[in-house]
Amino acid sequence: MSTVASQVEVPADVSLPIYMDNHATTPLDPRVLAAMMPYFTEKFGNAASRNHSFGWEAEQAVETAREQIARLIGATAKEIIFTSGATESNNLAIKGIAEMYRERGNHIITQVTEHKAILDTCKRLEKQGYRITYLPVKADGLIDLDDLARAIDEKTILVSIMAANNEIGVLQPIAEIGRLCHERGVLFHTDAVQAVGKVPIDVIADNIDVLSLSGHKIYGPKGVGALYVRRRNPRVQIAAQIDGGGHERGMRSGTLNVPGIVGLGKACEIAREEMASEAAFLTGLRDRLKEKLEANLDYIHVNGSMDHRLPGNLNVSFVYVEGESLLMGINDIAVSSGSACTSATLEPSYVLKALGLGDDVAHSSIRFGMGRFNTQAEVDYVADKVIDVVKHLRKLSPLYEMVLDGIDLSKIQWAAH
C-alpha cells in the first residue's frame, strides 16, 4: 500500500513528527524530571531502610509524594498505596476486594467499555467462580444508571466503572454511581487513569472507595502508579496479591520505586495547580480541530458524548475511508486508529462496537489525544493534513462515489465471489 502524497505545507513553527497520542502515554514534564534526578544518584536510599539517613531521606520523599497525590484527589496520605502502574492497581483493587469479601458475596459489576486491565481481571475471576455483570453502554458511551441499579443484588460486593474512557474520552457519572453503590452497601472502584489530573476528582464528594491512577498519563514517569483505598466510612480491606516484606500497609510488598514515586508526586502537584487552565487550553485545541474537520469534510462522526468528555480527546470516524490507509497517509502525526491496539489483529475496537457502530465506521476512526505540549499551529497542520488525505482517499473509494450518487449502500446485494 503506498502512502498518500500530501499537498499540505509544514509551517515554520511546526516540527515533525507531531505527537497527538497523549491517551497512550504523555511525555515527561521537565519539572517532573528535575524532581526525580537526585533520587537516581546521591539520594539513592531504600525507603524501607530505617537505620540511617539514606533510608530516611528516601522515606521522606515517598511520604511527600503520597501527600501530593492525596491532595489531587481529596484523599489522605495514608490512603495512597504505591504500585507499578494502573494495570497492577486495577488487579490489586479487584482481586484484592474479591478475595477479602468472598464470604459476603461473589458478584462484581463492570461495563463493556472498560480497559482490558479491568475486563481481563474480571474474566480471570469468572474462572474462579465469581459472577460478573458487564453493563452495556448507550450510543454516547455512558452507562444507564437504571441498568446499574437493577444489576445490584444481595451478593454484589463491588462495582468497577472507569471515570474516563481511554478511547472515546467519555466521562461516566461517577458521583452518582458511587452514591448508588453506597446506598446499597456495595464498594465502588474506579479506574481513573485517564481522568485524574485532567478533570476534578474528589474521592469523598464522588463517593469513591478505591481508585487507580498512573504516572505516565499525567506527564510523569512510566512504571509507577497508585491505588487509593478508603480508610473510613467504609474502611476498605484489600487482600495483598504480592507477598513479601509487608510494604505499603501490607497491601503491596516490594522495594519502592523512589525516583518514580517522586515523579508521580510532582506530576500530581503540577496537575492540581494547572488543571483548570490546562483543561480550558485543551478544550480549545480539541474544539478547533473538530470545527475544522467538520467544516471541510462530510460523513464524519464524533464517537462518544461531547457533553461528558475529557478536554483533550477527539475520536472521529471518517466514513468511507479505511483507517489504516488514513494512518499511513498521516504518518507524520502520532495518533491511534479504531482498530484494536491490544493485539496484532485488525479487529475493530470493542469500545466503538459497544456504541453500536458498524465495522466500517469503527475501522475508519482516529483518536486524537491532545496534551500539555501541543500547540495551535500543530492542530491546524493536523486538521489540514487529515482533510487532504481523507479527500484523496475518498476519490479512490467507489463506496463514497455511490453514496454521493444517492445510492443506499444498505440496500445493495453484494455478489459473492
141: left (phi over 0), alpha (psi -120 to 50) or beta: left
Q: Please tell me the distance from the alpha carbon of residue 385 to that of residue 379, in angstroms, as a whole number.
A: 10
Cell for 174?
461517577
> Which backbone phi and psi does 361 adopt, to 5 degrees?
-70, -45
- pLDDT of res. 4: 61
C-alpha cell read off for 91: 488487579
In this structure, is residue 12 part of a structural domain?
Answer: no
> pLDDT of 95-143, one tens digit each?
999 999 999 999 999 999 999 999 999 999 999 999 999 999 999 999 9
Number of folded domains that form the chain = 2
Among 250, 271, 292, residue at a domain's last position: 271
Closest listed residue to residue 287, CA positions, set 263, 311, 305, 303 = 311
Same domain, 127 and 246: yes
Cα–Cα dist 250/230, whole Å:
15
pLDDT in tens, 334-379: 999 876 545 455 678 999 999 999 988 998 999 999 999 999 999 9
Same domain (yes/no): 262, 292: no
* Per-residue DSSP letter, 361: H
- The predicted pLDDT at position 323 comes to 84
pLDDT of residue 88: 98
**Same domain? 208 vs 300:** no
Q: Are residues 93 and 168 in the same domain?
A: yes
C-alpha cell at 73: 484527589
Residues 239 and 259 in one domain: yes
pLDDT band (50, 70, 90) for residue 408: confident
Domain shared by 199 and 242, yes or no: yes
Q: Judge whether 2 lies within some domain.
A: no
Give me 296's grid cell.
471541510
Q: What is the extent of the structural domain holding 326?
A: 18-27+275-411
CB-CB contact of 320 with 400 (8 Å): yes
Last residue of a domain, one of 237, 271, 305: 271
Q: Find the helix packing angle between 86-100 and 116-127, rounded to 10°.
A: 30
Q: Is residue 7 part of a domain?
A: no
For residues 253 and 144, membership in a common domain is answered with yes
Q: What is the DSSP string of 37-65?
A: GGGTTTS---TT--SSHHHHHHHHHHHHH
- pLDDT at 327 exceeding the cut of 50: yes
Cell numbers representing residue 5 in the block: 502524497
Q: Which helix (H) or strand (E) holds 187?
A: strand 187-191
Q: Who contacts 74 (Cβ-Cβ below 8 Å, separation ≥6)? A: 201, 202, 203, 204, 205
User: What nine digits make up the cell of 226?
Assistant: 497508585
- The rounded distance, in Å, linking the Cα atoms of 383 and 375 is 13
Same domain, 329 and 216: no
Q: Is residue 5 part of a domain?
A: no
| 160 and 295 part of one domain | no
Q: Is the pLDDT of residue 2 over 50?
A: no
Q: Are 6 and 385 in contact (CB under 8 A)?
A: yes
- What value does the mean pLDDT take over residues 256-282? 98
Question: How confident is the model over 71-98, as a mean pLDDT?
Answer: 98
Cα 341 from Cα 348, distance rounded (Å): 9
Residues 126 and 45 in one domain: yes
Q: Is 85 left (phi over 0), alpha (psi -120 to 50) or beta?
A: left
Q: What is the pLDDT of residues 18-58, one digit of tens each?
A: 999 999 999 999 999 999 999 999 999 999 999 999 999 99
Distance of CA 106 to the CA centre of its chain: 27
CA 351/CA 141 separation, integer angstroms: 8
- Is 101 a domain residue? yes
Per the domain annotation, does 38 fall within a domain? yes
Is 60 exceeded by the pLDDT of residue 307?
Answer: yes
Quote the DSSP letter at residue 215.
Answer: G
CATH number assigned to the domain comprising residue 226: 3.40.640.10
- What lies within 8 Å, CB to CB, of 166 at 6+ separation is 23, 115, 193, 194
**Exposed / middle / buried, residue 33 (Cβ in 10 Å: 0-12, 13-18, 19+):** middle
Cell of 284: 480549545
State whether 79 and 192 are in the same domain: yes
Among residues 241, 271, 301, the one where a domain terminates is: 271
Instruction: Give me the active site residues, please.
Output: 341
222 assigned to some structural domain = yes
Instruction: Provide the grid cell at 131.
Output: 459472577
Q: 214 with 310, same domain?
A: no
Amino acid at 58: A
Residue 416 lies in a domain: no
The predicted structure's pLDDT at residue 416: 67
- Average pLDDT along the chain: 95
pLDDT (0 to 100) of residue 339? 63
0.85 surpassed by pTM: yes
| CATH number, domain containing residue 345 | 3.90.1150.10
pLDDT one-digit tens code per residue, 231-249: 999 999 999 999 999 999 9
- Residue 228 pLDDT > 90: yes
- Give the 3-state DSSP-derived string for 224-268, with helices as H, strands as E and coil as C: CEEEEECCCCCCCCCCCCCCCCCCHHHCCCCCCCHHHHHHHHHHH
What are the residues whose beta carbons fall under 8 Å from the beta carbon of 20, sequence distance 6 or more? 333, 334, 335, 368, 369, 370, 371, 374, 378, 382
Q: CA end-to-end span of the chain, whole Å?
A: 23
* 89-100 burial: b if 16+ Cβ within 10 Å, else e: bbbbbbbbbbeb
Using a pLDDT cut of 70, give the percent of the chain over it: 96
CA distances (Å), origin 65, targets 198, 206, 275: 18, 22, 18
DSSP secondary structure string for all residues of 305-350: -SSSB-TTEEEEEETTS-HHHHHHHTTTEE-EESB-SSSSS-PBPH
